[in-house]
C-alpha cells in the first residue's frame, strides 16, 4: 500500500479548494513531511499578504501563524466560518467547506507528519457561471425605456466581466462602476459612464436619478452603501445572470447617454493634465502612473488622499491595472505590489500611500525585503519632493522598474492641494471609506 503524509493530504486539499499560496509560519521543519510550502512573512502582516494575493491574482491564499490554524481571508464580506479536522477523512472532506465565500478558519488537530494511505480529495464544487434570470427580471428590464447598470467588484470576482459587456452592448446601455470594479471597461468606451461611490454627488451626477431602472450587480456595501445610490427603481442581478439577461433583453435602438458626472470629472482631470510645474496636480501624477503602468504593470494605492485620486482619475485601459481597497487597510498597497512581484519579479509596479508611510507599510516592506522582493513606494506628502512633470515622469519610470534604492525607503512627491477644491465642487464631498 502506498502511503503519504497527512501534510501531503493537506497540500492536495488546499490545491483542490483553489488555495493558491500560504503566508506566515511553516507548519513543520523545512523538508519534513509536515511542512507546507509557506511564504515566510511575520504574523503581523500575513493577513495583508493573503488579502493582497486575492486582489492581485484573483485566487485565495491562506495564513498560518504557527498555531495549527489555517485562515483563508476573503474580500467578500460574510460571517467567519470555523471548523476543526481531527482525522484524514475529515481533512479529505473539507474541500467544500474551504470553497464557501467569506473568511474561514480550519484548525488542524492531527499530526501532519503521520503516514496514511495515499488518497486524494474530491474536486471542488463547480461554481455556477450561468444563472438564468427570473421572468420578472427579464420583463422589468425589457419594459424600461431608460436604464443604467451599477456594477461592483463582485462582477470581477465572479468572472462576469464578459457578461457585463454583453449586456451593455446588446441593450445599448451605459455602466457606472464602483472603484473595486475599476477597469471593467476601457475609459474610452461609450459604455463606460464613470467610476462612482467616491464623492457625495457621484450617483446623482452619474444619472441614476434620470433613468427608469437601475440594474445593480456585484455590489460591495462598503463601496456602495444601501440608501446612497437607489435614486430610481432597482433590479438586482447576480453577476452570473448578466450574460443570460443580455441574450433576452437586447435593444439595438438604445444608445448610452453620458451623464453630467463624466464631463465634470473630465474637466477637472484634464485641467490637471495641462499643468507641468511643481507641485504637480494630482491628476497629472496619476496620468504619469497610467503611462508607466497601465500597459502591463500594477499601481496599488491605500485608502486616503492618494488612493482617492488613483480611484478617481487613473485612466484604466486594462482590468487589474489599478487596485484600491474597499475599506481602509494600512499596508495593503505595499502588500499588493509584494505579492505581484513574488510571482513576476520584473513586473513594473508601484505602491502609492499618503506620507509619511505608516507602520503597517514599513512592516510589509521589511517582510518583502527579507524575501528578496523590491516594493517601489511613492508617498504623497505636502513636504514631499517638489518635482515638475519631466522630473516626476523620469523618476517614476526608473522607480517602477527597479524599486526604491535599498534602505532609502519610499520616495515622496508633493501635489497641488488646490485641485481637491475643484473636484469637490464638481462632485461633492468625498464619501469613500467614511
Mean pLDDT, the chain cut into blocks of 10 residues (434 residues total): 90 91 86 81 96 93 94 80 96 94 94 92 84 95 95 94 96 96 95 98 98 97 96 98 93 83 97 97 97 90 98 93 96 98 92 96 96 95 97 92 60 96 98 95
Q: What is the pLDDT of residue 404?
A: 47
Instruction: Confirm if 402 and 349 have CB atoms less than 8 A apart.
Output: no
Instruction: Confirm if 326 and 358 have CB atoms less than 8 A apart.
Output: no
Please, where in the chain does CATH 3.40.50.1220 lie?
135-258
Residue 188 — left, alpha, or beta (φ > 0 → left; ψ -120 to 50 → alpha)?
alpha
- Cα(380)–Cα(376) distance, integer angstroms: 13
Q: What is the pLDDT of residue 39?
A: 95
Q: What is the pLDDT of residue 302?
A: 98
Fold observed for domain 276-415 = Rossmann fold (3.40.50)
Q: What is the pLDDT of residue 145?
A: 92
- Would you tell me how many other CB atoms lie within 10 Å of the CB of residue 366? 12
Please, where in the chain does CATH 3.40.50.970 lie?
276-415
User: The pTM is what?
Assistant: 0.90
- Cα(115)–Cα(118) distance, integer angstroms: 9
Residue 53 — left, alpha, or beta (φ > 0 → left; ψ -120 to 50 → alpha)?
alpha
End-to-end CA distance of the chain: 60
Q: What is the pLDDT of residue 77?
A: 63
**Would you state the cell numbers that stand for residue 135, as one nine-digit string?**
421572468
CA of 19: how far to CAs of 45, 121, 345, 379, in Å?
18, 14, 21, 32
Instruction: Confirm if 216 and 237 have CB atoms less than 8 A apart.
Output: yes
3-class secondary-structure state, position 85: strand
- Cα(20)–Cα(73) distance, integer angstroms: 12
Q: What is the pLDDT of residue 274?
A: 97
Report the CATH superfamily, name and number, of domain 135-258: TPP-binding domain (3.40.50.1220)
Instruction: Confirm if 224 and 178 have CB atoms less than 8 A apart.
Output: yes
Amino acid at each position: 500500500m502506498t502511503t503519504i503524509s497527512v501534510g501531503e493530504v493537506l497540500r492536495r486539499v488546499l490545491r483542490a479548494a483553489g488555495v493558491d499560496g500560504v503566508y506566515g509560519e511553516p507548519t513543520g521543519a523545512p523538508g519534513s513531511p509536515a511542512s507546507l510550502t509557506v511564504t515566510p512573512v511575520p504574523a503581523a502582516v500575513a493577513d495583508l499578504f493573503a488579502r493582497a494575493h486575492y486582489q492581485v491574482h484573483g485566487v485565495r491564499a491562506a495564513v498560518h501563524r504557527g498555531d495549527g490554524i489555517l485562515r483563508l481571508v476573503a474580500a467578500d464580506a460574510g460571517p467567519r466560518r470555523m471548523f476543526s479536522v481531527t482525522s484524514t477523512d475529515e481533512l479529505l472532506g473539507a474541500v467544500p467547506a474551504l470553497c464557501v465565500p467569506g473568511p474561514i478558519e480550519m484548525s488542524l488537530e492531527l499530526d501532519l507528519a503521520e503516514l496514511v494511505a495515499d488518497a486524494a480529495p474530491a474536486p471542488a464544487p463547480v461554481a455556477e457561471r450561468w444563472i438564468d434570470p427570473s421572468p420578472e427580471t427579464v420583463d422589468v428590464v425589457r419594459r424600461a425605456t431608460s436604464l443604467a447598470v451599477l456594477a461592483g467588484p463582485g462582477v470581477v470576482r465572479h468572472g462576469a466581466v464578459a457578461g457585463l459587456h454583453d449586456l451593455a452592448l446588446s441593450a445599448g446601455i451605459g455602466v457606472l462602476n464602483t472603484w473595486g470594479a475599476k477597469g471593467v471597461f476601457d475609459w474610452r468606451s461609450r459604455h463606460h459612464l464613470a467610476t462612482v461611490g467616491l464623492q457625495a454627488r457621484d450617483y446623482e451626477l452619474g444619472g441614476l436619478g434620470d433613468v427608469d431602472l437601475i440594474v445593480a450587480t456585484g455590489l460591495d456595501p462598503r463601496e456602495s452603501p444601501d440608501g446612497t445610490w437607489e435614486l430610481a427603481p432597482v433590479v438586482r442581478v447576480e453577476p452570473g445572470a448578466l450574460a443570460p439577461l443580455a441574450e433576452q433583453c437586447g435593444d439595438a435602438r438604445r444608445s448610452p447617454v453620458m451623464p453630467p458626472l463624466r464631463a465634470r470629472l473630465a474637466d477637472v482631470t484634464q485641467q490637471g493634465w495641462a499643468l507641468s510645474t511643481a507641485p504637480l496636480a494630482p491628476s497629472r501624477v496619476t496620468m504619469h502612473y497610467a503611462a508607466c503602468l497601465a500597459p502591463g504593470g500594477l499601481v496599488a494605492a491605500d485608502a486616503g488622499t492618494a488612493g482617492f485620486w488613483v480611484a478617481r482619475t487613473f485612466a484604466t485601459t486594462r482590468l487589474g491595472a489599478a487596485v484600491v481597497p474597499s475599506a481602509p487597510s494600512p499596508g495593503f498597497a505595499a502588500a499588493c505590489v509584494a505579492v505581484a512581484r513574488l510571482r513576476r519579479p520584473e513586473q513594473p509596479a508601484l505602491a502609492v500611500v499618503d506620507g509619511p508611510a505608516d507602520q503597517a507599510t514599513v512592516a510589509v516592506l521589511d517582510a518583502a525585503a527579507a524575501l528578496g522582493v523590491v516594493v517601489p513606494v511613492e508617498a504623497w506628502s505636502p513636504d514631499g519632493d517638489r518635482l515638475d512633470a519631466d522630473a516626476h515622469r523620469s523618476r517614476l519610470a526608473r522607480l517602477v522598474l527597479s524599486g526604491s534604492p535599498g534602505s532609502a525607503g519610499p520616495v515622496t512627491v508633493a501635489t497641488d492641494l488646490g485641485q481637491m477644491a475643484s473636484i469637490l465642487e464638481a462632485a461633492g464631498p468625498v464619501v469613500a471609506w467614511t
